Amino acid sequence: MSILIDLSMLRHPWCGLGQVALNYGRWYGAHTAGLTPGHEVTLLVPRGFAGHFGAHVHYLEAHDCYRAMPWLMPRFDLWHSIHQLSPFRPSVRSTLRLLTVHDVNFMYEKPEAKRRRYLRRLQHECDRSALVCFISRFAMEDALRYLHVDAPMQVVYNGVEQLTEGVQRMPQGVDAGRPFLLSLGVLKAKKNVHTLLPMMKCLPQYDLLIAGDDSDPYADRIRREAGCCGNVRVLGPVDEAGRRWLYAHCQALLFPSLYEGFGLPVVEAMQWGKPVFCSRQTALPEIGGDAACYFDSFEPRHMASQVLRTLREHTPGRSRELQSYAARFSYDRHMTQYQELYRRLLDGGVGGSLS
């Protein structure tokens, strides 16, 4: 039975979905021999990526002609779109489709005309799918506020890349002699990073390093306000080696985001055994569970007191507990769940809810 995994987002390897596609490719490069017998997997990749994950992997290059004329695409028994807005489609309607929905951020971030267009497109994708998966229960519940899904639905938590292995490099702008707290993620208003700056005035013994894409206008606000704090530095984007160094050397991750379909930095920081402080909004309590610490208020003194108390009580044993918790989100576990779903779809065993 032939299975296609759509990794076309590799064309944007440094965005979140591009990283998901990259980790899928790496996993298949390492595990092709261990796939379900009788299943032949092909990776749909951008031009130039054929062979990227090893010569033993099957590839199909995502030529532009396949977007305009999908009937030119080879036929497959099962097609997995690992995100909801891929421009590529199976060549025939008889192909079983598995769709993974990450979020409906566009409903909160885009102008009305784009919201309508994206929603119509996503509804169409759901209508064509034999199974719709979501990256968290929150993501599913939020999407169902706008979508009608007749197909069976399943929550499959994101896999999280194991960051504790690999090269580390200190980013520019870091004072290595000062202990620091870390805020990591795209600087957008929903990330709520501005609430951390007044808090840092109550924590003069620590620096706050803010790392991540800073192209949104919200980042300008953060830079202006950080200029009034002597212990806050906005680093901007960092590469993988820089991200590893920051996690390895920080005292804790601060993640007060107001909207997350999953919240990758929460699990990434726990891989290093670091305390995580986040909001109680959207998917964060679901992903952080009892392992994370939650801000009950964004009042600066309250936040600072909670951070100090937790850091004083943190022990090597607690670090090991956090690392054990983070292991629940391994890519091996994630991909094993999908392999089972592929098997059940191809065996015709899907009916009703799979949850």
Do 180-328 and 2-159+330-346 have the same topology in CATH?
Answer: yes
Per-residue confidence (pLDDT) for residue 32, from 0 to 100: 74
Among candidates 237, 266, 235, which has minimal Cα distance to 252?
266
- Show me where the domains of the chain are located: 2-159+330-346, 180-328
CATH number of 2-159+330-346: 3.40.50.2000
pLDDT in tens, 16-56: 888 899 999 999 999 876 677 888 999 999 999 999 999 99
Per-residue confidence (pLDDT) for residue 36, from 0 to 100: 76
Fold of 180-328: Rossmann fold (3.40.50)
Cα gap 126→118, rounded to integer Å: 12
Per-residue confidence (pLDDT) for residue 236, from 0 to 100: 93
Per-residue confidence (pLDDT) for residue 302, from 0 to 100: 96
Q: Which helix (DSSP H) or strand (DSSP E) does residue 182 occupy?
A: strand 180-184
Per-residue confidence (pLDDT) for residue 349, from 0 to 100: 63
Stretches in the chain below the pLDDT threshold 50 = 352-355
Per-residue confidence (pLDDT) for residue 355, from 0 to 100: 44
Listed in sequence order, the DSSP H helices in 128-233 are 137-143, 196-200, 217-226
Per-residue confidence (pLDDT) for residue 33, from 0 to 100: 65
Per-residue confidence (pLDDT) for residue 351, from 0 to 100: 53
Cα gap 185→243, rounded to integer Å: 11
Per-residue confidence (pLDDT) for residue 350, from 0 to 100: 63
Per-residue confidence (pLDDT) for residue 85, from 0 to 100: 85
pLDDT in tens, 282-329: 999 999 999 999 999 999 999 999 999 999 999 999 999 999 999 999
Longest dimension (CA), the chain: 63
